[in-house]
Structure 1
Amino acid sequence: MAVVNAEIINKTPFENGTPWGKYGPYERIDGTINFGVEPDNPANSAIIDLEHSPVSQAGKVTFTSDFVLLQPSDREPTRLLVDVVNRGRKRAIPDFNMVSPTLSPSSEIDPGDGFLFRNGYAVLSVGWQYDVYGSSSLLGMDPPAVKVNGDFTEGINLVEIRPNQIQKCYLLANRIHKPYPSVSTDNTNARILVKEWEDGPETEIPSSKWSFAKETEGEPTPDVEHVYMDAGFQPGKIYNVIYRATNPVVSGATLMSVRDVGSWIKYGGPNCPVKATVKHAYAYGISQTGRLLRHYLYAGMNLDEKGRQVYDGILAHVAGGRRGDFNHRFAQPSQQSSPGFGHLFPFTDVPSLDPFGRGTEGLQDRQLKIGGSPKVVYTNTSAEYWRGDASLSHTDPSGCCDVDFPDNTRSYFFSGTQHVP
């Protein structure tokens, strides 16, 4: 069992004990899940760098995730819905319970129309993104480190910056996330390239014009987690900072956390707070985490370390035809620039021929081969088609013809709607 323990931090009546039909009142449980995975277990064979992470005395790679669980206080839940949170923000309850949309993170949970509660769901929101700055409003993860021969390894990293206003200083990260620090504040061997559009010509900014520094009281102070340019990063331009970074983590712990929290609740495990095992478990992700669930299927993660199927169903909303930065060294899970790791072949669930000569492959090949395939539902809006990748999920990459989905998969198009409210 990959969940070795769970620490309950807080347990309170949800909405002051408001009853939700025949399932009665709900309770809210906040806590931390402790994982311990076996690096040699076949279920973890797709995880990059797992063999380079330190192990405990029990021979397991350990990491922790934040979680929030809502479940009936006095009744057994009917089913489990795992909310794969978007950049730390809880999304399943707002999306299914018709809550007025907001992108602002909050520790509070609006019950909306109570749809999930009136149907007896246990809803567990799990933190999986290791570069989120955890808070009472954002759920995160403390990931396993990558150490080669006992030391943190180094490697070349690229951070893209797209300013909306003139700004002198940025974190070495996508958005406001934890950065991979530079090995040094010396920028001699680092580069900043700037261009006007994604495929435009690049110009290098001289190293004398910028530094690894943060702005303190209006002045630059040497710092390995920030980049500073006195002239300012200009809005409308695209900057690529290329530098030697350190402190990578096992980014595929993202996939293992999603798998193992579902297995923990579905089959029972150490200190499991759910009153009874549930018959059916589903996972839901939107946008970034819809892409994470596509990556989860691609890596064949839906069998736990005991070979049991975890999720019976997966709903990947507004993911288009992409995956993401979820399982390679120095991955940046919020990165979505084009081109990027999320734009890699394959796009269709069944095998298609790569027009660039890299063979034939389908997104669900591995999962269908080893078993444990869930029912999969994709839902996309017009935005994912205008963005240019949603059609790749059901057309041949050469553009010649339509491609069917496997029997376990359905795809729905919400015409005329936007990516998120």
Structure 2
Amino acid sequence: MTPNVQALRSASVVLTGLSLVLVLLAWGTSAHARVARIVIDVKTSPAFGGASFGAAGQYETIAGRAFGELDPNDPRNAIIQDIELAPKNAKGKVEYMATFFVVKPIDMAKASGLMWHDVPNRGGRLTLAAASRNDGDVGLSSGWQGDNSGATAQNFPNSNDYVVVPTAKNPDGSAIKGLVMGRILNASGVNSQPMIVHSNPVPYKPVSLDTTQAKLVSRVHETIEGVVSGESEVASADWAWARCSATNPFPGTPDATQICVRGGFVANRVYQVVFTTQDPPVLGIGFAAFRDVGTFFKNEVRDDAGTPNPLAGGIHWLIGRGVSQSGNYLRAFLHLGFNEDEAGRQVQDGTWPIIAGRRVALNFRFAMPDGVLKLYEPGSEGPQWWHKFPDQRRGLPPGGILDRCHHSQTCPKIIEHFGAAEIWGLKLGPEWVGTDPKSDIPLPENVRRYYIPSTQHGGGNGGFSVTPLAAPSCPSAGYGVGTFAGNPVPHTGWGSRAFRACRAGRRPA
């Protein structure tokens, strides 16, 4: 995560909750959620040094784990890749565990009734900012990413949020195997290099350290259309799955997470390896886990074992919120129909994807959800737009992100906003005009969109600047800087004003 994204995340969490209720108003009922059991691991009461916040008074925090089970035959879950190949308990259900972190008034009678369900970005646990505590809001952060790599490593006790999902197996119980691609960019010298997806290690390891069972190539140049020039294969005898350095030269020490090249990596070349791995985690369960944890805390009185829901009866509205990768997660969450729980209830009354223009690549076998749309990374599959619209370039019939929630009548109110960096660096343009850019795609009635031009990913530190700003940088893929000067109203500053206006019941100017 870049510092600018972190700044926007902090600012967005400051935006107070009841301001959105006027825009994101919906409903809730009661029935049984699929979180079977919760465990409270750490409770801090009072929290925040005992400070008092507005009429809500003192707050407390609760860190814990939710143990859930899914019916793989329920159509709401059957869309999960490989769920039918996951192990099942005696009741025929597929189990998972998700961590959670709740921030709430000690006296729930003083709560506003609004809960923010924040989507962790690469495992980063989120708390509720002071401004929202002053409003009496409740905060919930819960795990969804189960690849167990880097920042999403499944360590307990933990300060990050993640989900533990089962491993898919063939029907005869044998391991499922498949090909995975890893890339090494901007490397030089004799030190071994890991395979990185954005900021975390590739979560899969080779079945064998025998390099004849894999293929490593280097390339001089690639275009965004996938045209490759100057490719040459590195002979299997000239590289190793190993950790090496100047003091531990080739072939180094065997290590399935590192690649060592005889003579070292050549600067300005891209290295790409394709190898066989096995045991895919059923990562799409991360959608169901986020759904179930949210609906449990919103609707249930207690779990199956009788443990009380600490928020029972106090939540009337739930708004899902995510920045960058987390906003992409919310778009995929809606597209796959996860805003309807197993009881048929609407989960999120409002959804707020921020600086997000695609869908996270989670519901695949051997998925890598950390990807940021670099070459060959999934996440741009259509449809990327809210409204039902044809995908002319791919020859696909009309479709939209909201098709499934329209069918189940569980679509939330949606507000999205982004800037120039997301258009150019993160390929957001098709959301506006499709893959055949001949006309604008209309917005559904439940969606509001705001564009803040000439802002970079994260939008600065907030506030109006009277000093001319440098042109914004495009994120992640090294596209360089923009042509025009930066917007004197940074993304975070605009967002704060926009949602204050929503609190007052008017549209932002």
Given the alignment, which residue of 121, 124, 138 partners 1:122?
A: 138
Residue 48 of structure 1: CA displacement?
0.7
Taking the aligned partners of 2:192 and 2:276, their CA distance within structure 1 comes to 19
The equivalent residue for 1:168 is: 191
Aligned 8 A contact 1:173 1:180 in 2: no
Given the alignment, which residue of 157, 160, 167 partners 1:138?
A: 160
SS in structure 2 opposite 1:397?
Answer: coil
- Asked if 1:205 is matched to 2:221, the reply is no
Residue 63 of structure 1: CA displacement?
1.3
Aligned 8 A contact 2:188 2:264 in 1: no
Residue 187 of structure 1: CA displacement?
1.6
The equivalent residue for 2:401 is: 363
| Shift in alpha-carbon separation, 1:207–1:403, aligned structure 2, 3 A | same
Q: Map of 1:47-196 to 2, 5 A cutoff? A: 47-76=80-109, 77=111, 78-91=113-126, 93=128, 97=129, 114-131=130-147, 132-135=152-155, 136-149=158-171, 150-163=173-186, 166=189, 168-174=191-197, 175-177=199-201, 179-196=203-220
The equivalent residue for 1:221 is: 253
SS in structure 2 opposite 1:27?
Answer: strand
- Asked if 1:42 is matched to 2:75, the reply is yes
Residue 234 of structure 1: CA displacement?
4.5
Task: State the structure with more CA Rg.
Answer: 2
Residue 265 of structure 1: CA displacement?
0.8
| Shift in alpha-carbon separation, 1:402–1:37, aligned structure 2, 3 A | same
Aligned 8 A contact 1:10 1:29 in 2: yes
Task: Report Cα offsets for 1:5-39 as digits up to 9, x if no partner.
Answer: 11111111221211000001110111111111111
SS in structure 2 opposite 1:151?
Answer: coil
**Can you give the 5+ residue segments of structure 2 that lack an aligned partner in the other structure?**
1-32, 461-509
Task: Report Cα offsets for 1:268-298 as digits up to 9, x if no partner.
Answer: 1413232434111111111111111111111
Taking the aligned partners of 1:275 and 1:357, their CA distance within structure 2 comes to 48
Indicate the structure whose relative CO is greater, using CA pairs within 8 Å and at least 6 residues apart: 2
Residue 124 of structure 1: CA displacement?
0.9
The equivalent residue for 1:280 is: 317
The code of the aligned residue for 2:347 comes to V
CA RMSD between the two structures:
2.1
Residue 235 of structure 1: CA displacement?
5.0
SS in structure 2 opposite 1:223?
Answer: strand
| Shift in alpha-carbon separation, 1:69–1:181, aligned structure 2, 3 A | same
SS in structure 1 opposite 2:139?
Answer: strand
Q: Map of 1:285-324 to 2, 5 A cutoff? A: 285-320=322-357, 322-324=358-360
TM-score of the pair, normalised by structure 2: 0.74
Residue 361 of structure 1: CA displacement?
2.0
Taking the aligned partners of 1:141 and 1:215, their CA distance within structure 2 comes to 33
How many percent identity over aligned positions?
Answer: 29
Aligned 8 A contact 1:382 1:418 in 2: yes
| Shift in alpha-carbon separation, 1:245–1:260, aligned structure 2, 3 A | same
SS in structure 2 opposite 1:35?
Answer: strand
The equivalent residue for 1:232 is: 264
- Asked if 1:373 is matched to 2:411, the reply is yes
| Shift in alpha-carbon separation, 1:192–1:308, aligned structure 2, 3 A | same
Residue 310 of structure 1: CA displacement?
0.4
The code of the aligned residue for 1:298 comes to H
Aligned 8 A contact 1:212 1:222 in 2: yes
The equivalent residue for 1:109 is: none
- Asked if 1:345 is matched to 2:382, the reply is yes
Task: Report Cα offsets for 1:154-202 as digits up to 9, x if no partner.
Answer: 0011122223664633345523346212111112131123334442323
The code of the aligned residue for 1:120 comes to G
Residue 126 of structure 1: CA displacement?
1.0
SS in structure 1 opposite 2:328?
Answer: helix
Task: Report Cα offsets for 1:47-81 as digits up to 9, x if no partner.
Answer: 11000000112221111122211111123432111
Taking the aligned partners of 1:341 and 1:295, their CA distance within structure 2 comes to 12
> Which range moved further: 157-166 or 372-381?
157-166
Taking the aligned partners of 2:201 and 2:138, their CA distance within structure 1 comes to 30
SS in structure 1 opposite 2:210?
Answer: coil
The equivalent residue for 1:102 is: none
> Which range moved further: 324-333 or 387-396?
387-396
Q: Map of 1:383-398 to 2, 5 A cutoff? A: 383-387=421-425, 389-398=427-436
The code of the aligned residue for 1:240 comes to Q
Given the alignment, which residue of 224, 244, 257 partners 2:289?
A: 257
> Which range moved further: 298-307 or 186-195?
186-195
> Aligned residue pairs: how many?
401
Taking the aligned partners of 2:426 and 2:50, their CA distance within structure 1 comes to 46
The equivalent residue for 2:366 is: 330
Aligned 8 A contact 1:380 1:390 in 2: no
SS in structure 2 opposite 1:231?
Answer: coil
The equivalent residue for 1:16 is: 49
Taking the aligned partners of 1:171 and 1:207, their CA distance within structure 2 comes to 18
Taking the aligned partners of 1:166 and 1:317, their CA distance within structure 2 comes to 39
Taking the aligned partners of 1:254 and 1:190, their CA distance within structure 2 comes to 30
- Asked if 1:399 is matched to 2:434, the reply is no
More strand as a share of residues: 1
